[in-house]
């Protein structure tokens, strides 16, 4: 057998010129690539509902916005608590659950 699966943990950088100007990153997840933007929240005046815990994110709270890469108009952006986003894949479905 020749090559093994190439690891994807070293994303090529600079493939998205727009991200250079912001704190936006692309993360590889089991369900695809996600763009993640970290917000300080200082300019937010809206209350968002975090899909991770189904709790509200109050205005002026640092959090992240994530949407799937390729979602060009970003209509499916979701605002997450930073902690909930980072825990997203810790809640792996267990067999037999």
Binding residues for Zn ion, rule: CB under 5 A, are 50, 52-53, 81, 84
| 85: number of Cβ within 10 Å | 22
- Nearer residue to Zn ion within complex by CB, 23 or 55: 55
Residue closest to Zn ion when measured from CB atoms: 50
- Nearer residue to Zn ion within complex by CB, 41 or 52: 52
- Nearer residue to Zn ion within complex by CB, 66 or 84: 84
With CA atoms as reference, report the closest residue to 13 among 5, 28, 25, 23.
25
């Amino acid at each position: 057998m020749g090559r093994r699966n190439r690891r994807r943990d070293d994303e090529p950088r600079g493939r998205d010129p727009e991200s250079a100007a912001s704190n936006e990153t692309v993360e590889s997840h089991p369900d695809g690539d996600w763009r993640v933007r970290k917000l300080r929240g200082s300019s937010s005046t809206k209350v968002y509902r975090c899909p991770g815990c189904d709790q509200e994110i109050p205005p002026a709270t640092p959090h992240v916005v994530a949407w799937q890469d390729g979602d060009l108009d970003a209509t499916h952006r979701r605002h997450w608590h930073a902690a909930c986003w980072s825990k997203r894949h810790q809640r792996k479905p267990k067999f037999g659950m």
